[in-house]
Amino acid sequence: MEIRVSRRVRELSGYAFAEVDQRVEKLRQAGIDPIDFGVGDPTQPTPEFVRKACSEALDARASYGYPSYVGDPGFRDAAAEWISRRFGVELDPQTEITSTVGSKEAVFHFAEGFVDPGDVVICPTPGYPPYSRGARFAEGEPFFLPLRESNGFLPDLSEIPPSVRDRTRIFWISYPNSPTGALAPEAFLAEVLAYCGRYGIIVASDEAYTDIYFSGEKPRGVLEVSRDGVVAFFSLSKRSAMTGYRVGFLAGDKKVVEVFRKVKTNLDSGTPTFVQDAAVAALSDESHVVEMRDQYRRKRDILVDALVGAGLPECRPEATLYVWQKAPSGMEDVEFAKAFLDPEVAIVTTPGTWIAEPTASGENPGKGRVRFALVPSVEATELAAERIRRMKF
């Protein structure tokens, strides 16, 4: 039987990973195990007290059945308490917070509640692919706003044509920003919220990295500015090394939360309650997050010092677990990534154009950059640094 594939799936651009993947495979065949800075999946274990809370909850919840669609009351209370401590904002866990099966599904499915065919979703580029993929699956059109170093990796709202603005339903922002590592000043958040408020656009703020920062000052969140037409997406994945648990939450405008709950009630049956119990334990503790930040800071400095030592421009991020490294001038990002795959170096990175979409004018802000995800151990990062210092650009 010939299988007919939907237009939505046919039109998905594949990742052009083949060339680099082949080189990685070749290294492996030659008995070289590359140091993998490619995918942003933390390799350190989930903290022991979180694992323990999860296994205890398995027994305590032995006959608990399906989880709640909107999140267990204890989980939503813990999320509200964390938001209060983290941002000084008081939310009603009954109406202003709802659980997600990790941010990826929530980001992808969000457009389903608010987008009709022809509506626009503004997405940053480079940016997390589900912002635009979710828009496309909801039959909307993504409009890509570039994040350039010259503007502090903030989108420039004057680049949105009025004809696009008037059809826009959702504006995605994400700070601390992946992959650029930039922070957003409060004035920028206020500017985006004012713009969106004026034109009836929902602000969807992906704050997955809000707890991974390196200066003394905590990154600001949109909920500190307003919750009118505004929602923030939070995840336990990076904060507590819980990517495998699949748990997060959405918080903000109760009218938006209500619509999203309606979408999700038809989609999934929630995060297992014993996983939510583990998340309650993780949200109630900050000391493991302090340790996590220290470790990421160490790895950032080891790697960036080596890159600078090899003659590359300094791209030290202020936050997140990514280094958005600029190539020597004139070098393409795939060439740059391949240079790190030399058998003497054997380091995997992600070329910038693979995680950045071109804008309407054809500009690809991922050009000439590679992304390092600071996920190998400190020891592996030191080994990588030793090899990088021997490279000459």
Ligand X SMILES: Cc1ncc(COP(=O)(O)O)c(C=O)c1O
Phi/psi at 95 (5° precision): -125, -20
State the minimum distance, in angstroms, from the CB of residue 208 to ligand X: 4
State the minimum distance, in angstroms, from the CB of residue 243 to ligand X: 5
Q: Which is nearer to ligand X, 39 or 60 (CB)?
A: 39
Q: Is 62 exposed, middle or buried (0-12, 13-18, 19+ CB in 10 A)?
A: exposed
Q: Which is nearer to ligand X, 95 or 243 (CB)?
A: 243
Q: Which is nearer to ligand X, 181 or 391 (CB)?
A: 181
Q: Does 325 bind ligand X (CB under 6 A)?
A: no
Query: Alpha helices, DSSP H only, in the chain?
Result: 7-10, 18-29, 48-60, 73-87, 103-110, 130-137, 162-165, 186-199, 236-239, 254-265, 273-283, 287-309, 333-340, 378-389
Q: Does 350 bind ligand X (CB under 6 A)?
A: no
- Give the one residue of 98, 99, 103, 364 binding ligand X; rule: CB under 6 A: 103
Q: Does 206 bind ligand X (CB under 6 A)?
A: yes
Q: Does 210 bind ligand X (CB under 6 A)?
A: no
Q: Which is nearer to ligand X, 98 or 237 (CB)?
A: 237
User: With CB under 6 A as the contact rule, which of the stretches 12-20, 25-33, 44-52, 100-108 interacts with ligand X?
Assistant: 100-108
User: With CB under 6 A as the contact rule, which of the stretches 46-54, 98-106, 186-194, 341-349 interacts with ligand X?
Assistant: 98-106
Cα–Cα distances in angstroms (integers) from residue 282 to residues 78, 94, 335, in the given order: 10, 21, 41
Site for ligand X in 27-86 (CB under 6 A): 40
Q: Is 330 left (phi over 0), alpha (psi -120 to 50) or beta?
A: left
State the minimum distance, in angstroms, from the CB of residue 104 to ligand X: 3
State the minimum distance, in angstroms, from the CB of residue 41 to ligand X: 8
Q: Which is nearer to ligand X, 147 or 391 (CB)?
A: 147
Fill in the DSSP letter of residue 226.
-
| Cα–Cα–Cα angle for 312, 238, 366, rounded to 5 degrees | 35
State the minimum distance, in angstroms, from the CB of residue 127 to ligand X: 7
The answer to whether the CB of 56 falls within 8 A of the CB of 62 is: no
Q: Does 243 bind ligand X (CB under 6 A)?
A: yes
Q: Does 226 bind ligand X (CB under 6 A)?
A: no
- Give the one residue of 20, 27, 193, 208 binding ligand X; rule: CB under 6 A: 208
Site for ligand X in 114-153 (CB under 6 A): 128
State the minimum distance, in angstroms, from the CB of residue 8 to ligand X: 21
Q: Which is nearer to ligand X, 206 or 333 (CB)?
A: 206
At 223, is the secondary structure helix, strand, or coil? helix
Contacts (Cβ under 8 Å, ≥6 apart) of 273: 57, 61, 64, 67, 68, 72
Give the number of other Cβ atoms within 10 Å of residue 126's Cβ: 25
Taking the CA atoms of 30, 35, 38 and 40 in sequence, report the sign of the dihedral they define.
positive
State the minimum distance, in angstroms, from the CB of residue 300 to ligand X: 16
Report the b/e string of 82-111 with b at 16+ CB within 10 A. Answer: bbeebbebebebeebbbbbbbbbbbbbbbb
State the minimum distance, in angstroms, from the CB of residue 177 to ligand X: 8
Question: Which residue do the tokens 């949105």 mark?
Answer: 160
**Strand ranges across the sheet with 168-173:** 97-100, 248-252, 230-235, 202-206, 168-173, 120-125, 141-146
Phi/psi at 311 (5° precision): 95, 15
Q: Which is nearer to ligand X, 165 or 237 (CB)?
A: 237
Q: How far apart are CA 249 and CA 239, in angstroms?
A: 13
- Give the one residue of 178, 210, 226, 349 binding ligand X; rule: CB under 6 A: 178
Q: Does 271 bind ligand X (CB under 6 A)?
A: no
Q: Does 374 bind ligand X (CB under 6 A)?
A: no
Q: Which is nearer to ligand X, 23 or 131 (CB)?
A: 131
Fill in the DSSP letter of residue 220.
P
- Give the one residue of 46, 99, 174, 205 binding ligand X; rule: CB under 6 A: 174
Q: Which is nearer to ligand X, 235 or 273 (CB)?
A: 235
| Interface positions with ligand X (CB under 6 A) | 40, 102-104, 128, 174, 178, 206, 208, 235, 237, 243, 248
